[in-house]
Amino acid sequence: MALLTLAMVLASGCGRSDDDAGVGGGGGAEAAPGITDTSIKLGGSYPFSGPASAYASIASGAKARFAAENAKGGIDGRKIEFLALDDGYEPQRAVTNARRLVEQEKVFALFNTLGTPNNLAIWDYANQQKVPHVYVATGASAWGADIAKHPYTTGWQPDYVSEAKGYAEFLKKEKPKAKVAVLYQNDGFGKDLLGGFEKAVEGSDIQIVARESYEVTDPTITSQMRKLGASGGDTFLNITTPKFSAQAIAAVAKSDWKPLHILNNVGASKKLVLEPVGLENAKDIVSMTYFKDPEDPQWADDPAMQEYKAGMKEHEPKADPLEAFCAYGWTAASTMIEALKAMKEPTREALMDAVRNMDIEIPMLLPGVKVTTTPDDGFPIQATQIMKFNGENWELQGEVIEAGT
């Protein structure tokens, strides 16, 4: 009996109803899965639990932004439904989440999934299924560099290489003969940024005089800092994650080494890094940014900032609108909304078309920082602006630096 059933099932091919062969819609105006005349379903995977759960605020920011758009009537009458699943920052759970979102929840697109390894784990799948996998929340340069093989994937924030170019341009202008001592985290993130910087200063008079690395698991970086201090460098490029950013700032403050201190954006949080070490120790540190910092008083009267804070309060009252991660999620969601608005027909291909041909300003991005893509340029945001800490707040410096092309 059982064998008979087996034979029957095998004979009929796969007997399941949800075969996703037709996914993607064949070019015509026929709507793709996850999009109707009244709704658009998006999905993302975030670490709501586990060691990286601080990033969960990004999902809150995005949810609030979509809710605010829905309250205004949605996009051409379509309300956005955003499903954020927990992966605990474990790549295999990101994979099952992506499958669930695509096959079971039938989302129109994957939006803003967080973490470099988690996105690397799902990008082959998303591209095989021809599901847009857009505005991923990671700064790796791979997302924009490999659009030929992964046409459905795109990053969002300035990648680490663009960030490094921003610092190099700043130095070429302000300190063209800088001798740079570098501290970097020995992993994909640190090497991406350092590599970008090395390439960007090639052919200039800027020299890298010392490179010291540390492991994320190291307890301290005391010996690295001592070596860098003795290297004769007059500029310190600090490529670190928050815990080590704070240690490095403290080490410089205690020593008699007084370099020009460039701190990467990952470690530039006032709340997480600068306040714990003492704001006076952070004076004159240079970093970069690309979106409006909700803690910065200069944006207090900015309409975009006010809309953001009101939207957060109304739709995600439990989240802290002063957290930069919330603003990040909000701004990424704004970009998604613009892409959906620009979509010519309700298909996944049309969405990718819109994502790949963008040239717009997003209100929560810094003035002059635009989202620009072309079919050959897979990096949406590449402009950055240098900021300097004045002892109380980050102050924007000079012009926006365009790192693209």
Partner 1 sequence: MKRAAWAGVLVLAVLLPFFFSSYRVSQFTLVLAYAVAALGLNLLVGYSGQISLGHGAFFALGAYTTAILVAKSGWPHLATIPVAAAICFAAGFAVGIPALRLHGLYLALVTLGLAVATPQLIKRFDGLTGGTQGLSAPPPAVPGFLDFLAADQWIYLLNLVVAVLMFVLAAGIVRGKVGRALVAVRDNQIAARTFGVDLARYKTRAFALSAAYAGVGGAMFAISIGFVAPESFGLALSFSFLAAIVVGGLATVSGAIFGALFIEFVPVYAADVNEALAAVIYGGVLIVFMYVLPTGVVGLLRRLGARVRPRKGEGGEHAGTRFERGTADAGDGAGERVRAKR
Minimum CB distance to partner 1, residue 100 (Å) = 5
Minimum distance of partner 1 from residue 153's CB (angstroms): 13
Residue closer to partner 1 (CB basis): 100 or 172: 100
Cα separation, 358 vs 335, whole angstroms? 10
Compare residues 5 and 405 and give the one whose CB is closer to partner 1.
5
* Closer Cβ to partner 1, 74 or 88, answer by number: 88
In whole angstroms, the minimum distance from the beta carbon of 404 to partner 1 comes to 24
Residue 95 beta carbon to partner 1: minimum distance, rounded to whole angstroms: 5
Minimum CB distance to partner 1, residue 200 (Å): 22
130: left (phi over 0), alpha (psi -120 to 50) or beta: left
Whether the CB-CB separation of 155 and 144 falls below 8 Å is answered with yes
Cα 158–160–165 angle (5° rounding)? 85
**Amino acid at the residue 179:** K
The tokens describing 196, both together, are 């970008």
Contact positions vs partner 1 (CB under 8 A): 2-3, 5-6, 9-10, 13-16, 18-20, 48-51, 56, 84-86, 88-93, 95-96, 99-100, 102-104, 115-118, 120-121, 124, 140, 187-189, 215-217
Nearer to partner 1, 118 or 382 (CB): 118
Residue 2: what residue type? A
Contacts of 392 (CB under 8 A, 6+ apart): 279
- In the complex with partner 1, the residue whose CB is nearer, 1 or 77, is 1
Residues 388 and 268: beta-carbon distance below 8 Å? no
What is the smallest separation between the CB atom of 129 and partner 1, expressed in angstroms?
10
Looking at the Cβ atoms of 19 and 205, the one nearer to partner 1 is 19
Closest distance of CB 137 from partner 1, Å: 15
Amino acid (one-letter) located at 40: I
* Between 87 and 293, CB nearer to partner 1: 87
